[in-house]
Amino acid sequence: MDRKLSGKTIAMEAREAVEKKLFSPSSARNSGPIADVLCPLLKSHALVLEIGSGTGEHGEAVCRRRPDILWTPSDPDVTSRKSQAARARESDGMQMPLDLDVSRPGWSDELPDVDILVCCNVIHISPWATAKGLARGAADILHPEGRVFLYGPFLEGTASAPSNLDFDSSLKARNPEWGVRALADVKTLFAAHGFQLEKRIDMPSNNLSLIFSRSE
């Protein structure tokens, strides 16, 4: 995902453009492992909303394996949405992207309910208000059996990977409001909105997949 700072879009990495499609080196690496976790999790004909979809490669990878689902990407960045739209035109299950900024109050008010909310590599390159808005919106639009799927780096106290600690320092040097989030803080935030951590999955390059479900 690209982030906007003072009205300018800042890419976290160099992205190759082929016509209207953007290609991200990190998405090329992690789309497969993310799809490996997500595909078994999705029920038949699941309704998926992705937040901060960036190039659209994650949704494309999942829809390629699961053409039965309806995957709606989103992003506040217009260039990213154009890339997502180009992929959607070539995918059976991928829908046209939405212009969503989850840090804005009421972002989920007009949206239909979904089965799963997906957010990959976003909350560490955004102010904490983004994570707050994500949790608040998830409580509004997820079906009773719905889930939240988060992917990215997280800090786990003394068990934190040195590479994630270095990444955290680098992000905070770019923007004090950014930073690799503590898993404990993320769990507390989602618990305040009625969610519990159902599963924590180790992923390549010291990333995690987190699956939240509604608390009983």
Q: Is the pLDDT of residue 179 over 50?
A: yes
Query: Cα 119 from chain centroid?
Result: 1
Predicted TM-score of the model (pTM): 0.92
Instruction: Please name every residue paired with 118 in a beta bridge, in sequence order, or none if there are none.
Output: 50, 149
Strands 207-214 and 195-203: antiparallel
Residue 110 sits in which domain range? 3-214
Q: Is the pLDDT of residue 4 over 70?
A: no
Q: Is the pLDDT of residue 192 over 50?
A: yes
pLDDT of residue 26: 86
- Residue 150 CA to residue 16 CA, distance in Å, equals 25
Of 4 and 213, the one with more pLDDT: 213
pLDDT of residue 3: 43
CATH number, residue 156? 3.40.50.150
Give the residue among 102, 118, 120, 117 at the shortest CA–CA distance from 207.
Answer: 120
Q: Is the pLDDT of residue 10 over 60?
A: no
For residues 18-41, give the mean pLDDT: 91
Residue-wise pLDDT for 107-137, tens only, equals 999 999 999 999 999 999 999 999 999 999 9
For residues 5-16, give the mean pLDDT: 47
Q: How many domains does the chain have?
A: 1
